[in-house]
Amino acid sequence: MENVFITGASSGIGAALAQVYAARGATLALVARRQAQLEQLRRSLPNPQRHHIYALDVTDHAALTQAAADFLQQVGTVHTVIANAGISVGTLTECEGDLPVFERVLQTNLIATAATFAPFIPAMKTCAREQPCRLVGIASVAGIRGLPGAEAYSASKAAVISYCESLRVELRSSGIRVVTIAPGYIDTPMTQVNTYPMPFLMPVSDFARKAVQTIDAGRSYRVIPWQMGVVAKILRLLPDWLYDRVFSRAPHKARTPGHDQ
């Protein structure tokens, strides 16, 4: 029996991942702030009585740790942990009122990723000797190079990529695989508020299916969809002067309350 812990599960990528795992018989822990949406999602899944919901904010580390402990007690072994909770919102450093938003984005997108993984690592070090165990960080193509008007989001996702790489190397000998997935534009509530063109926009169900394939394979890093992976490689190679010239006129994410993924 496969047991999976997913944060940011109430909508978007998290809910789509839950649907893929539940369809193949996994037992899920669904974590998000919105109790009603979690209940609705659980009722829509196969074997709803099997799944556990935890309505909490992932920046509340004590509540997150308690949820992890409860799920471990209920199921014994957790095979996959997906740190998916995130906030996407435009920010400008020059705007003093955006500093609290910076803190919220970094706490949710980065620090909560580590807080999600931490309670499971000791038990995973034991179970990984006999069966695959995965820690999965959901990053973003926005973390590959900084986007104008998205200082906090780009910084947080760049940090998730580097953090997961560090953790992957650290845990290599334990048998625990650390997987980093960088979505491009995925059709979710987080992107539906964007007013600018989104190249290679992918349905969230297609993304979830490809993401689970990546997790199952234990791949260290993947950009989905693959077309954005090509774009990401090109972006890495662009010299700063050319990148700055091309992206200085790029559209900005709206400076409004962020959307959870």
Which residues does the annotation mark as catalytic?
Answer: 153
Distance CA 261, CA 257 (A): 13
User: What angle is formed at CA 14 by the lines to CA 13 and CA 16, rounded to 5 degrees?
Assistant: 65
Q: Mention every residue, 6+ apart, whose C-beta is less than 8 A from residue 169.
A: none
- The structure tokens listed for 142 are 């926005």
Q: Which two tokens stand for residue 123?
A: 């038990």
